[in-house]
Structures are given as C-alpha cells and as structure tokens.
Amino acid sequence: MKRDRREHLRHNPFGTAASGGAVVLGGLGAILGDDVSQGMTLSLHASATVVAHLWGLMLATGGILKLYGLYWGRSTMEIPGLWMMSGAYFFYSLTVAAGLGMGGLAAAILSAALGVGCLIKVKIIMRHARIAGRQHDAHDAHAEDE
Amino acid sequence: MNWGEVAVSIAQVAAGGTIVQAVISLTRRRSELRQLDRGTDSVAVETADRIVSMLRAELEIAKSENATLKAELADHQRQILALVERVSELRADLAMAKAEIQRLQDDG
C-alpha cells in the first residue's frame, strides 16, 4: 500500500502540491480570517472577516477531499474537492486583484492558474468516468444477452 | 460600481458555482465515478495477478531446468567413475603384460 502512495505522488506531483497548499492556506484562512490576505480585506470591506473564514473552510475542505480522493482512489471525493479548490482559488485570485490591483498580480495569476489546473483535472477525470460508465453499461447488456 | 466590485461579484458567483458543481457531481455523476474507481481497482488487481502467474511460470521452468541439469551431472559422474575403473583395469593388464615380456626376455 505504501508503494501505491508513492506511485500516486510520482504521477500527481502538481495535484498533490496544489491540494497540500490549499489545505495549509485554507486552514490558515479558516482560523485567522482575512488576516491571511490584505487583498481580501481591501476588496470585501465589511464582510471580509466572515467571507475569508468561509473561503478558508472551502479551500481547506477542497484540498482534503482532493488528497483523500487521490491517495485512496475515491474519485467521488476527488471531484467535489477539485471543484471546491478551483472555486476557492478563483475567488482568491479575483479578490486579490480587486483589492491590491497591480500589487496583487503575482498572487492573482498563480492562484488563477491553479484554479484552471483543477478544472482541467475535473474534465479529464469525468471523461474517464464516462468511458468507464459506458463500458460497464455495454458489459451489462452483453451479460443480459447471454 | 467600479471594476473592483464587479470582480468581487464575479468571484462570489464563481465560488458559489463551483460549490453547486461539486454537489451536482456527487449526486448526478456518482455511479459513473464509482464505476471508474472499481475499474481502477480491478485493473490493479488483474495486473498483480498477471505478474504473479508470470513469475510462477518462470519459477516452474527454472525448476525443471535445474532438475535436468542435475540428472545430467549425475550421468557424467557415473561415466567418469566407469572410465576410472577401466583405466585401473588397463593399468593392471599393462603391468601383467610387462611382467610377461620380462619373463620371456629372461628365458631367451
């Protein structure tokens, strides 16, 4: 089983890093609120604290679901995790860009790229799932014929 | 409404949309995803099975080769022993023949 995990890491270094980063940043956001991001404080004004807590929770949950799904082979957990991660990354990207303008460009571009990566991964997994579902249906039909 | 507020609104819609998508993927695509996981598991098991049976077949071949070689070795050892025996017999004959020659020369 341990060897299996190492194989997963070998095949998904970026997925692992993106979700590990999401867990760390999301956890900090959930605990500290808008202290983790000046961009959020500036762009969200009065609601910044509450929204940052929720955002941190969403990002951390997404990261945990993605990691669990990836390393324990549960794509029913991985897909929701990836959706939540991409949403949280896009949210961070846009709020930081809105709050800091050009000063938040680096963070905005990096997190937007991570969000796009999550969406692409969702697309890839869903395509595999559709193929698997179709094969299963064909298999069932074949079994009924016999 | 300046562009910053627009961006924040878009961000909120995006975050909400992805949460909705996460729920949809769990409710509507669940069976397909489960099928994918099961397929991945069974592929891993099948691959492991195939490797084990391949190794077992190789082990059987190696064992039978080993047995053949052992039999050949025993055969060769038997042949060597037979040859050694033959050599000592011939040596004894040679000694007898030499003694006979000596006796005849002495007589002559």
Please tell me whether the interface predicted TM-score (ipTM) of this complex is above 0.85.
Answer: no
Using CB atoms, pick whichever of B17, B26, B37 lies closest to residue A73. B37
Backbone phi, then psi, for B29, in 5-degree steps? Answer: -105, 10
pLDDT tens-digit series, residues A83-134 = 999 999 999 999 999 888 888 899 999 999 999 999 999 999 988 888 888 8
* Domain residue extents for chain A: 2-145
Question: What is the least distance, in Å, from the CA of A63 to any CA of chain B?
Answer: 13
CA A143/CA A116 separation, integer angstroms:
41
A chain contacts of residue B15, beta-carbon cutoff 8 Å: 55, 58, 87-88, 90-91
Question: What local confidence, expressed as pLDDT, does residue A2 receive?
Answer: 63
Are the beta carbons of A36 and A52 closer than 8 angstroms?
yes
Instruction: Note the pTM of the prediction, 2 decimals.
Output: 0.71
Question: What is the least distance, in Å, from the CA of B38 to any CA of chain A?
Answer: 9
pLDDT tens-digit series, residues A36-81 = 888 888 888 888 888 889 999 999 999 999 999 988 888 889 999 9
CA A78/CA A37 separation, integer angstroms:
27
Residue A27 has pLDDT above 60, yes or no: yes
Q: Mean pLDDT, chain B, as a whole number?
A: 89
B chain contacts of residue A81, beta-carbon cutoff 8 Å: 22
B67: contact with A, CB 8 A cutoff: no
Burial of A102 (0-12, 13-18, 19+ CB in 10 A): exposed
A93: contact with B, CB 8 A cutoff: yes
Question: What is the least distance, in Å, from the CA of A39 to any CA of chain B?
Answer: 11
B25: contact with A, CB 8 A cutoff: yes
